[in-house]
Chains A and B, each alone.
Chain A
Amino acid sequence: MIRRRQPGDNTPTPLRTRRVARKALSYALLSVAALIVLFPFLWMFSSSLKTVAEIFQYPPLLLPQSPQWSNYPAVMQSFPFPKFILNSLISSALPAIGQMVTCSLAAYVFAWKRFPGREVAFVLILATLMLPYQTTLIPTYVLMRYLGWLDTLRPLIVPGFLGGAFGTFLLRQFFLTIPRDLIDAAKMDGCSDFGIYRHVLLPLSRAALTTVGIFIFMLHWNDLLRPVIYLTSYQKMTLTVGLAFLKGQHRTEWSLLMAGAVISMVPMLILYLAAQRYFEEGMLLSGIKG
């Protein structure tokens, strides 16, 4: 192998050795960093399996001696986790679907139809992304109260069906990449506006739609603020509020709390591992905190 001579190369360490050393160092650094980042999750899981005595041991025990799997059914008995999960599911899946529908409809006309003020309208929609949520929170709450929707899941679901800046932006950018020829060909075959949407754009947009859907789903699943202000009764609570409530009730039963936290992590964890790149893509394009 030809070794490239570097200027200023006084101590001739073979290039291959230096490359290997750099790779090894990188792996080491990354492994340490990954362990640090993942440590809270590992600790969460390990603590969830400890007995009360083991939890309050000092120095802290890394692994429980006899895993208390019974902590899981115990926490599920004390708190209606299935109900929480169901509520979270409803209040996440429905808006996700709503966004996929309404944003794609709007994105279609922003991309492929002309009308006066189109660019201005689009910029206005985008501008709402910069709005801090606090500026719209209070009047929205007042509206929901006026509608009698307090303590229901409706305030969490309905806004999802009224368009959204993120989805509209992402889908419009995607729709713009669809070749004009396809649309023209459809038009020549007598396709209506809606027909173009339904038969040309939608089938080609699976990936983009999935990205929007997953991202909105995740946003709603992890949302704490809106469930906290809108949901007061137990049965209506989503996983996030429920867990916060759990923390209030079982302040010092740490292994139970950890078990609860693990349970609430699992659905999103599975979804994430199954569809990681959709998560990344969605969050990358949004700049909205995860």
Chain B
Amino acid sequence: MKVSGQDSKTTEKGIETHAERSVLVPPKDSGVSTATRLRKRYRGLSQWLDVFPYLLPTILGFVVFNIGPIIATFVLGLTKWDLLSPPQWVGLGNYQEMFFSKALFWRVMRNTIEYTLLYVPLSVILPLLLAVVMNQKLRGIGIFRTAFFLPAVISTVAVGIVWLWLYHEEFGVFNYALRSVGLDKIPWLNSPRWAMPALVLMSVWKVLGYNMVIYLAGLQNIPQDYHDAAKIDGAVAWQRFVHITLPLVSASTFFVLMISLINSFQVFEQTYILTQGGPAYSTLTLSFYIYKEGFQFMHMGYAAALATVMFIILMIFTFFHLRLQHRWVHYEM
């Protein structure tokens, strides 16, 4: 007995909502061919067969370059391997070394936290302020937009070389500026105290325009009516900022906060060009440490263990961040 039913599952807008037959098999001597009957029974499989050629590269890529390597990293973290001799199984030996014998790991974690604490607030707040100023109908605003966005587009190596020169102790412009207002010159990249702020400064400069553009998109979604109504009620500019702008831009802020956090953990290029992790390990963050251990010292197993630690930390962060979203992100007033 054939039964045709309406299968109207609309998952998202635009997805096809066909009326589909249910999967009851018609009796053998009906007017339906075997092929059709089989195709109806194994509908899911036949759908996959249709779709498979299109997904093959993606699936391959996913397995070979994502899933496979993640699992391999976890496993490699349990070995000692320098690529020349066969890998040696050490179980939790790498982690023991990491947490208990090598003090360097804790220094690295401290550096990473320091970088994050310096970088994230600056890269979340400054672009927002800039975006608020940019969110006006000024003529030629496009030129400013181009200018602010430019550093994000140019390679970190090229800008790193200039910043090296700007940070130069004797002839760099920054120290010239400091000295011309009567302050002492700072040994920037040569000083364990100042190298990290120097790194952070360049990173913030580079990401300023990029985050600003994200905020601008969010700001432009705030209806002017809210501001107008508040003005009529006598609200001053900064009051409107705190009570209208900030809550309504919280979705963008959430996004910027999250990517700033993730990016601060992954900082590599600036470190490579400006400091190589020095001086005296003061700018050695986790991501550069992984690079150093894995590709300069060829401690593949240890580096994999470090990568596992990083993975866990970031997953925890992301989990909490997404959870707390409900607390402070307003999508509408």
Contact = CB atoms under 8 A, between A and B. Distances in A.
Contact of A162 (B51, B54, B57, B172): B57
A243 B311 CA distance: 31
Interface stretch (A23-31, A66-74, A203-211): A23-31
A269 B154 contact: yes
A236 B120 CA distance: 36
Nearest to B140: A27
A202 to B, nearest CB: 13
Contact of A279 (B70, B149, B318): B149
A218 B165 CA distance: 25
Interface string B45-69: 0011011011101111110111011
Contacts of A58: 170-171, 176
B272 A128 contact: no
Contacts of B196: none
Interface in A77-114: 102-103, 105-106, 108-109, 111-114
A149 interface: no
A264 interface: yes
Contacts, number: 286
A233 interface: no
B263 interface: yes
A122 B263 CA distance: 24
B11 interface: yes
Given A115-B47, A134-B287, A138-B300, A257 B161 contact: yes
Interface stretch (B24-32, B98-106, B204-212): B204-212
Report the interface size class on chain A.
35 or more
A21 interface: no
Interface in A256-280: 257-258, 260-262, 264-265, 268-269, 272-273, 276, 279-280
B184 to A, nearest CB: 15
A63 interface: no
Contact of B171 (A55, A140, A258): A55
A123 interface: no
B176 A59 contact: yes
Interface of B: 11-16, 44, 47-48, 50-51, 53-55, 57-62, 64-66, 68-70, 72-73, 76, 83, 130, 133-134, 136, 138, 143-144, 146-159, 161-166, 170-173, 176, 180, 205-210, 213-214, 217, 231-234, 255, 258-259, 262-263, 265-266, 268-269, 272-273, 287, 290-291, 294-295, 300, 303-304, 306-308, 310-311, 314, 318
B64 A240 contact: no
Which interface residue of A23, A26, A115 has the most chain B CB atoms within 10 A?
Answer: A115
Q: Is the interface of B mostly helix, strand, loop or mixed?
A: helix
A125 B147 contact: no
Contacts of B255: 287
A239 B155 contact: yes
Contacts of B163: 40
Given A109-B54, A244-B273, A159 B209 contact: no
Contacts of B154: 41, 222, 265, 268-269
Contacts of B48: 115-116
A135 to B, nearest CB: 5
Contacts of A119: 11
Nearest to A131: B66
Contacts of B234: 6-8
15 contacts: A38-B147, A59-B176, A111-B14, A132-B265, A134-B266, A141-B295, A162-B61, A176-B15, A225-B291, A240-B157, A264-B155, A264-B158, A265-B158, A268-B154, A290-B152
A43 B173 CA distance: 9
A135 B173 contact: no
B239 to A, nearest CB: 12
Contact of B148 (A34, A159, A178, A221): A34
Contacts of A38: 147, 150
A132 B166 CA distance: 31
A105 B50 CA distance: 12
Contacts of A138: 69, 72-73, 76, 294, 300, 303-304, 307
Given A47-B162, A128-B66, A268-B155, 8 more contacts: A30-B134, A102-B61, A105-B58, A132-B265, A138-B294, A247-B273, A289-B259, A290-B207
Contact of A272 (B16, B150, B272, B287): B150
Given A58-B170, A132-B311, A145 B83 contact: yes
Which interface residue of B165, B207, B314 has the most chain A CB atoms within 10 A?
Answer: B165
A137 B292 CA distance: 13
Interface in A36-52: 37-38, 40-41, 43-44, 47
A260 B268 contact: no
Given A132-B311, A247-B273, A258-B161, A23 B155 contact: no
B164 to A, nearest CB: 7
Contacts of B59: 163
A11 to B, nearest CB: 14
Contact of B50 (A113, A276, A279): A113
A93 B159 CA distance: 22
Contact of A261 (B53, B148, B161, B258): B161
Contacts of A132: 262, 265-266, 287, 307, 310-311, 314
Given A109-B55, A111-B14, A41 B162 contact: yes
Given A218-B153, A287-B255, A139 B69 contact: yes
A260 B303 CA distance: 33
Nearest to A39: B173
B263 A289 contact: yes
A33 interface: yes
Pairs of residues from A and B, 8 with the lowest C-beta to C-beta distance, nearest first: A162-B61, A163-B58, A139-B72, A136-B69, A290-B152, A115-B47, A139-B69, A222-B155
